[in-house]
Amino acid sequence: MWDYSEKVKDHFFNPKNAGAVAGANAIGEVGSISCGDALRLTLKVNEDTEVIEDAGFQTFGCGSAIASSSVLTEIIKGMTLDQALKVTNQDIAAELDGLPPEKMHCSVMGREALQAAVANYRGEEWKDDHEEGALICKCFGIDAAMIEEMVWANKLRTVEDVTNFTKAGGGCASCHEDIEGILEKVLKERGESFDPNAAPVAKPAPVVAEKGPMTNLQRIKKIEEVIMSFRPQLMADGGDVELVEVVDKTAYVNMTGACNGCQMSAMTIAGIQQRLIEVMGEFIKVVPASQMPKLVNIQEAGHA
């Protein structure tokens, strides 16, 4: 598991300003429950001074999403709208004494909710930019503009970085090549060269103690446990999921019953992958078993 700061734990176990603000005159909603994270930010703004007098949040997501939303409301109370708009996702993470890199997208969601709320107050139409550029990650609806912005703002340099900050590439992984193209373009503009083997820029902080690497048997057992936790809900809807094979850090699964061929199966697989990453503290890819022979053969050819 990841090491969280004491501030993250405090805001998770004792969230500040949870719930909707009574008499709110600014509302910002971002994310999607189907993608695993959603945030509704409500503000009470003084109409004469544009000072945020109260702020509240309603979050569907992990502990980091709750903590990020909680600390955001604490940061912006007492600020004018223009001052609040200058708050960045790095500010949110810093106020929590850091977030694991795999959870930085939670701070990004908070920043977007704030922008949406301010636009709502001012009678403007807020766009998250996810529809303005070419759609890169279909699993989570992330487009090129969003990825480019995060690469610039956070000095990202690997696909793993992009996934940590935006979730793009965290589903079926078919967009990794396009993400690499964006990284290559932005890094070139920054005067740098893209290295697909570079280490991620962000590291968890603080690290208390390093744990030994997980054995393949331990990894398989953990993957089975997570998949088993998804089965009751899927079976209630007439579907199911089963683990077929684990190769290195890639898990191959079969979607059966009503889940076989369902348009939401990609979302389910993405949800399983996200849960695995959270539980195991390492990047685990979940892939439909129908892709297994092709990928395994490629791996075997590479070792030949």
Q: Please report, in range form, the residues annotated as the binding site for Fe cation.
A: 35, 62, 106
Please identify every residue annotated as catalytic: 35, 106
22-48 residues labelled b (16+ CB within 10 A) or e (exposed)? eebebbbbbbeeebbbbbbbbbbbeee
Maximum Cα–Cα distance across the chain:
72
Burial environment of residue 107 by CB neighbours within 10 A (0 to 12, 13 to 18, 19 or more) = buried
Contact 160, 283 (CB under 8 A): yes
Residues annotated in the binding site for [2Fe-2S] cluster, as ranges? 137, 139, 172, 175
Which two three-digit tokens encode residue 49? Answer: 């001074």
The CA distances from residue 146 to 26, 141, 165, in Å, are 24, 10, 10
Dist. CA 108–CA 56, nearest whole Å:
17
Dist. CA 71–CA 116, nearest whole Å:
17
